[in-house]
Structure 1
């Protein structure tokens, strides 16, 4: 549907709005205005609950043609649902005109589980008599100490679950206020909640006909309030930049050491980079139009009790952006810090400000390059630094810390730092199942994986790029390789989507390059950036399983598609309780050409996590990620002309 423009919702044209960049995220006023436009068009007598209100990013040609001071119409994507009714309505509205421009109903789609619903689900479960009875069978009388986590339910064809938006829950209990409840799993009790109507449809007690596992009661805390003494800390390690940082910030544009990038944010993906480019000798050269973490899935390996349902899509089913932390100076980031706030919508349409959602700072990164000439005894050495753009989100028990790094030598790196608390389950003390490791007596952590997919809308020296696969070839010994030392790299252009469904191969040291066949470097080769797959993981979920069908993107480490504005998420737009088959597997079935085209790379990487006792009560950071390295993009080492410098604050001890 479309609605007629309404002046009461139209934007006032002020100086700040006129100077806003087309890719700047919606601010609080714009989110509030969008919610009013949606409510006027759709609310009527039913409660509208807002899943998403975010910037509709303008077409690439509009963004490229934009000049400071020019005005570009501000438009928003939206999706909402109604309490008690299945389905989603999505659409586009004009903030300038105050009108809905297009919309459509998706009766089979389920929205995300919203942050505001977390505690509602918990309260609903804790009030149900069957749940209370199951807890009492395990010796739990004080239900106030019980904690219920609202996991997404997936799609498993369970009778009675059809046609509902669900949460499948897991539960624990505290021994006292604020104590770490994950040390005390209530094993085998799972409530299934109809989230739209906020009613429990079923409580599964897997020990209904047998003696339940005892709830382990050994405490294992991490909050400083529970410690009487601490280990001896290190001496202060201060990062001081008395002259300030080397980066500059103008609005959402960040510039540093030749690099410039626009920093975006939305409720689903969280941190987004736009228009990443490098200026050399006065010429700005584009590298990427857009980069984000577009999806992740966490499959668990246990088929016991209800644990087969643990296969959560933390981005598509919850939203990293909406669950972003407000970062703290001197803790989450060190040094000379610049923060950026973020705005997301609440379920009632009100704008929610996440202060300090994004942290920007510099880090020393050690040796940049060095050489000693043994003939002249002369040494040249340069240190390297990197620019860090980061955001941290908490999804239930886990923390996901996303870091984008820009380096002086032209490299771009993404690193995911995973921490938080492992998902715990019960076991007989000393007898964990083969699918887990005991971390406390009667408490086990199950084997699982964290599989991420980065969406990289490449633009190496312009919009027309190709993707090349590089493999090492070893000729057989004999003629042409008489000494057995020969090996070389063979490069193959990936011409279509199906050909570009690729996995890593350590036996050939496989990697991929994004080349611009229309731009040549000083030695006549196409300019390029290489994708270095540092953290490829083999997915063990069966592709034909319910979970495998929903997460079909995880079975290749690389996908390449021609750019399409509506192809944004590798598992599809609406992941929650979908049957699967959507997203990358469906799009690439068309086998569209991707040679010398506007291409998007989708890189799948992750963490394989057989749990250790050292991962509890809070897991030390573990990391994964990938690198985008210049490969013929520059004609020489771009750090070679850094001036010699010696740090005067260093001293001998």
Structure 2
């Protein structure tokens, strides 16, 4: 008799994992699954796989059957599985919360681990553990495993600053057993004093106290929800959520008062990938969401995102006409924007992710990095003692803040006034003056280059980088300019790892800051669909080897924002926010400034700062 199937379900979906609790009940084609639909999918899957205990959305369900990955497509309209395929590639599905918690519980009961804790003189009741994926470093065959890292509290809740070093713990998830345990050494334990960041635990001398911004009066919210469609000023967009990528902004359009219609700008945008290689080789409106748990039932996440109007105190536009001496002319408009924000906590780091919509037609994408440094325990208390390479900065006694990078890759499916778009490089060129009657020697001008193929669109940003535009070659303004949007990059940061290093093979999508591909519904995650222990064979870098045509096509722009972080003492024990971002800015999209006729707010008084 054959043994019964051992089935574990790992949910996975393209854009329908999360359900946003709408302010109204109006439905939209891009809405995520509702709790009742999650339960329906679960019922459909369990009919075909009776011992399965998990589910996913109406597009794609991933389950594990006898340690093999199956991809199911479920059609809710006919309540049936319409596709069932065995995945034969490399890499594994996402780790579930239940699996990670189970691996931690297993470790905390493992006798060799308990003996190592005792040998270090630590109290097991003050030990807490977390999980990490193990990556891939050239092994031909891999198993579905994760790594356990442990910390010691005992006087602080800032666990990440007190790592229990010297142990390697690996858990086989499929068998739920410890597959590797090595206790190498007993390094010193960093101190707990002064590391607790809770306001109730901070001791004098205190820093300054700041006044809070006045709350928005009840009933004066300036944006509206129609189901999951948000309207604010001239903007309208659909707000979704995905358990893998976070906020998903779809069908962003801007109302053009002169043309008396909404014009398309962006079909969909989201953060496709986060790559963080470490350099040690050794008043607001909040929105709830739902995702499918390991048992397939909907799990509610409260306040998963927030939407708020930002009054920054900056100037949207301003001018004083000083030459008309008989008149006092001074006009200014305040800079106000609508922000969609999610804060994602990934281990020790917190990522503040903003999508900021501006009345000018611009969209700003912001990232704030904060939280707790990744640290390593060492025997040193002063830099004079260090005679070896330490891969970071000594930030306090016995504690190294490890050098590392952050790379965030955005998937920007732009539809600028339609879905047939082209990518243009605008080169700024210095030219010599040829007319001898002109005293000037030089000037600069620009030349447009319409990019034909994917390889020509791969750009490493630098001092002499061209301006980058997505244009609709089929639409012109009255003066004859091609309508478009400009990608305004942030700081130019690229990878410093060798291209043959295993982390960089898997993270090859960071080799360029900008890529452009023709739209393909299967190309959504720059690191591949199955990232856990992947080998870099299903990434943006591999897809673009086809060198497909991208002229006058439905195209996707991929932008990678990067940070090189050399830790300093001011980053410890709680890191002040490090910010970065980029912008999509209208360029010959409107006939004139879309904020010229903005009505100034009443009772505005800025003094001489901005008025």
Give the TM-score of the pair, scaled to structure 2: 0.89
What is the rounded CA distance, in whole Å, between the counterparts of 1:404 and 1:137 in structure 2? 50
Partner residue of 2:354 out of 391, 398, 403: 403
Which residue is 1:638 aligned to? Answer: 594
What is the rounded CA distance, in whole Å, between the counterparts of 2:36 and 2:61 in structure 1? 15
Given that 2:506 and 2:535 are in contact with CA atoms closer than 8 Å, whether structure 1 keeps it comes out as yes
- Is residue 228 of structure 2 the alignment partner of residue 252 of structure 1? yes
Which residue is 1:197 aligned to? Answer: 175
What SS is found at the alignment partner of 2:240?
strand
- Is residue 315 of structure 2 the alignment partner of residue 359 of structure 1? no
What is the rounded CA distance, in whole Å, between the counterparts of 2:262 and 2:509 in structure 1? 34
Which residue is 1:97 aligned to? Answer: 78
- Is residue 557 of structure 2 the alignment partner of residue 601 of structure 1? yes
- Is residue 29 of structure 2 the alignment partner of residue 22 of structure 1? yes
Partner residue of 1:394 out of 342, 345, 349: 345
Given that 2:54 and 2:297 are in contact with CA atoms closer than 8 Å, whether structure 1 keeps it comes out as no
TM-aligned CA deviation for residue 479 of structure 1: 7.0
TM-aligned CA deviation for residue 19 of structure 1: 5.2
Given that 2:488 and 2:584 are in contact with CA atoms closer than 8 Å, whether structure 1 keeps it comes out as yes
Given that 1:48 and 1:80 are in contact with CA atoms closer than 8 Å, whether structure 2 keeps it comes out as no
What is the rounded CA distance, in whole Å, between the counterparts of 2:519 and 2:135 in structure 1? 29
Given that 2:161 and 2:373 are in contact with CA atoms closer than 8 Å, whether structure 1 keeps it comes out as no
What is the rounded CA distance, in whole Å, between the counterparts of 1:541 and 1:291 in structure 2? 28
Given that 1:504 and 1:511 are in contact with CA atoms closer than 8 Å, whether structure 2 keeps it comes out as no
TM-aligned CA deviation for residue 476 of structure 1: 5.6
What is the rounded CA distance, in whole Å, between the counterparts of 1:478 and 1:447 in structure 2? 52
Change (3 A) 1:243 1:353: closer
What SS is found at the alignment partner of 1:499?
helix
Which residue is 1:221 aligned to? Answer: 196
Partner residue of 1:272 out of 248, 252, 272: 248
TM-aligned CA deviation for residue 301 of structure 1: 0.9
- Is residue 95 of structure 2 the alignment partner of residue 148 of structure 1? no
Give the TM-score of the pair, scaled to structure 1: 0.83
TM-aligned CA deviation for residue 443 of structure 1: 1.1
- Is residue 213 of structure 2 the alignment partner of residue 240 of structure 1? no
What SS is found at the alignment partner of 1:589?
helix
User: In the TM superposition, what whole-angstrom CA distance separates every residue of 1:395-419 from its partner, at most 9, and x where no partner exists?
Assistant: 2211112110000111001111121
User: In the TM superposition, what whole-angstrom CA distance separates every residue of 1:254-297 from its partner, at most 9, and x where no partner exists?
Assistant: 11111100001111111000100011122110000001011111
Please give the residue correspondences for 1:367-516 in structure 2 after superposition, counting only pairs within 5 Å: 367-376=315-324, 377-429=328-380, 430-431=382-383, 433-475=389-431, 483-506=440-463, 508-516=464-472
Given that 1:171 and 1:190 are in contact with CA atoms closer than 8 Å, whether structure 2 keeps it comes out as no
State which drifts further: 292-301 or 192-201: 192-201
What SS is found at the alignment partner of 2:121?
coil
Matched residues, number: 572
TM-aligned CA deviation for residue 111 of structure 1: 1.3
Change (3 A) 1:482 1:472: farther
What is the rounded CA distance, in whole Å, between the counterparts of 2:543 and 2:177 in structure 1? 37
Partner residue of 1:528 out of 484, 492, 497: 484
What is the rounded CA distance, in whole Å, between the counterparts of 1:509 and 1:181 in structure 2? 43
Given that 2:415 and 2:421 are in contact with CA atoms closer than 8 Å, whether structure 1 keeps it comes out as yes
TM-aligned CA deviation for residue 113 of structure 1: 1.9
- Is residue 153 of structure 2 the alignment partner of residue 174 of structure 1? yes
Given that 1:467 and 1:493 are in contact with CA atoms closer than 8 Å, whether structure 2 keeps it comes out as yes
TM-aligned CA deviation for residue 91 of structure 1: 2.0
State which drifts further: 234-243 or 579-588: 234-243
TM-aligned CA deviation for residue 180 of structure 1: 2.0
Specify every segment of 5 or more residues in structure 1 that has no aligned partner in the other structure, as ranges.
Answer: 1-15, 55-74, 305-334
Given that 2:26 and 2:227 are in contact with CA atoms closer than 8 Å, whether structure 1 keeps it comes out as no
TM-aligned CA deviation for residue 543 of structure 1: 1.7
TM-aligned CA deviation for residue 630 of structure 1: 0.4
What SS is found at the alignment partner of 2:455?
coil
User: In the TM superposition, what whole-angstrom CA distance separates every residue of 1:513-552 from its partner, at most 9, and x where no partner exists?
Assistant: 0000000012201100000111331111222111111111
Which residue is 1:321 aligned to? Answer: none
User: In the TM superposition, what whole-angstrom CA distance separates every residue of 1:542-593 from its partner, at most 9, and x where no partner exists?
Assistant: 2211111111101011111111111111111101101113121221111110
- Is residue 61 of structure 2 the alignment partner of residue 78 of structure 1? yes
Given that 1:138 and 1:215 are in contact with CA atoms closer than 8 Å, whether structure 2 keeps it comes out as no
Which residue is 1:338 aligned to? Answer: 285
Given that 2:161 and 2:374 are in contact with CA atoms closer than 8 Å, whether structure 1 keeps it comes out as no
Change (3 A) 1:374 1:18: closer
What is the rounded CA distance, in whole Å, between the counterparts of 1:136 and 1:477 in structure 2? 80
Specify every segment of 5 or more residues in structure 2 that has no aligned partner in the other structure, as ranges.
Answer: 1-22
Which residue is 1:290 aligned to? Answer: 268
Given that 2:431 and 2:442 are in contact with CA atoms closer than 8 Å, whether structure 1 keeps it comes out as no
Given that 2:42 and 2:54 are in contact with CA atoms closer than 8 Å, whether structure 1 keeps it comes out as no
Q: What is the root-mean-square deviation of aligned Cα atoms in Å?
A: 2.4
TM-aligned CA deviation for residue 483 of structure 1: 3.6
User: In the TM superposition, what whole-angstrom CA distance separates every residue of 1:493-513 from its partner, at most 9, and x where no partner exists?
Assistant: 11111111111121x243310
Please give the residue correspondences for 1:544-559 in structure 2 after superposition, counting only pairs within 5 Å: 544-559=500-515
Please give the residue correspondences for 1:568-583 in structure 2 after superposition, counting only pairs within 5 Å: 568-583=524-539
What SS is found at the alignment partner of 1:76?
coil
Change (3 A) 1:134 1:484: farther
State which drifts further: 406-415 or 377-386: 377-386
